[in-house]
Each structure stands twice: as structure tokens, then as C-alpha cells.
């Protein structure tokens, strides 16, 4: 409009990528998922341990700087755009940790469980490397199962100032 008004524009693309799937839980996928879907819930093809596909998070931005007098003594600045939130990787972290197979176990080593650490930083039970070779797992697969739709996208928000 005039030399005192500067306009800027840009675009940012965030691309979260997951390189490996989590642990597959075919028992959950073949028995529990059909029951959930029969109740009318659409799980959008998600299965235990499956990571979402790579999604592009487009973030266009526009800004302005208006130097009212041209002397840089009074300026009005502003802008607007779409911003991808700080990515809460704890959510998809559940694909690797909360899949019904790798959590919810009590592990005993030759009948002795892990005791809380003592004040000096050592374990409260005697530690012998051969005890680790034959763990006995009690209980079974249990706990939360985190599922993600294949087209999952992280939250985005429109901001303006």
C-alpha cells in the first residue's frame, strides 16, 4: 500500500514420522476390536502396535509491520496463521508401551521380586546376573491399549494478533 507497510507470508510444514511399529497384539486385534466395533465405534482400521501414517501438517502464516510515521517511532505489528501444537509424543509413545503385551506384568526372578532401592543406590535384594536369565512372568497381557487411527494428525490451532 505504501513504503511504511511491510507484508510477510510463509508456510511451514511439520512431518512427524514414526520409523517402526510397536508390538503387535493379535489377540486384542482379533477378539476385542470386533466387539468394540459391534458396539458402533469406528476405530478407523487401527490395531494395537500400529503407528499412524505420516501426515503433513501445513502451517501458513501472514504478518504485517506498519510504521505509521515512517520514522520507526510508532509501529503496529500483527499476524495470523495456523500453528501445529507442541507435539505431545507421550500419546503415540503408548503404541510402544501400552499395547496389552509389554505392560501390566509382575516379573519375579527365581521367586524374588525387585525391592525398592536402598538409600545407597543399590537394589534392596542381592543382585546376581544369573537371576536375570530365567524370569517368571505372573499374570498375563493386561492394561491399557492405545490405538491410533491411520490418518491421525496432531492438533493445530489458528492464532492471530
Model-level pTM? Answer: 0.61
Which one, of 73, 132, 70, lies nearest residue 107 by Cα?
132
Which one, of 130, 151, 133, 120, lies nearest residue 45 by Cα?
151
Per-residue pLDDT tens, the chain, 161 aa: give them: 678 999 999 999 999 888 898 888 888 899 889 999 999 999 998 999 999 899 999 999 999 999 998 888 899 999 999 998 877 778 888 888 888 877 654 445 555 544 444 444 444 444 444 444 444 444 455 667 889 888 888 889 999 99
Phi, psi dihedral angles at 94 (to 5 degrees): -65, -25
Q: 11 and 59 in contact (C-beta within 8 Å)?
A: yes
Amino acid at each position: 500500500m505504501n513504503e511504511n507497510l511491510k507484508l510477510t507470508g510463509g508456510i511451514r510444514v511439520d512431518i512427524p514420522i514414526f520409523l517402526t511399529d510397536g508390538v503387535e497384539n493379535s489377540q486384542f486385534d482379533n477378539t476385542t476390536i470386533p466387539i468394540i466395533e459391534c458396539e458402533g465405534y469406528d476405530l478407523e482400521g487401527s490395531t494395537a502396535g500400529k503407528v499412524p501414517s505420516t501426515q503433513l501438517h501445513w502451517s501458513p502464516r501472514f504478518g504485517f509491520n506498519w510504521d505509521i510515521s515512517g520514522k520507526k517511532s510508532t509501529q503496529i505489528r500483527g499476524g495470523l496463521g495456523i500453528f501445529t501444537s507442541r507435539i505431545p509424543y507421550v500419546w503415540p509413545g503408548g503404541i510402544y508401551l501400552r499395547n496389552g503385551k509389554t505392560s501390566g506384568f509382575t516379573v519375579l526372578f527365581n521367586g524374588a521380586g525387585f525391592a525398592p532401592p536402598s538409600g545407597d543406590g543399590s537394589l534392596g535384594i542381592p543382585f546376581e546376573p544369573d537371576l536375570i536369565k530365567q524370569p517368571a512372568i505372573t499374570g498375563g497381557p493386561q492394561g491399557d491399549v492405545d490405538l491410533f487411527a491411520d490418518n491421525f494428525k496432531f492438533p493445530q490451532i489458528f492464532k492471530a494478533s
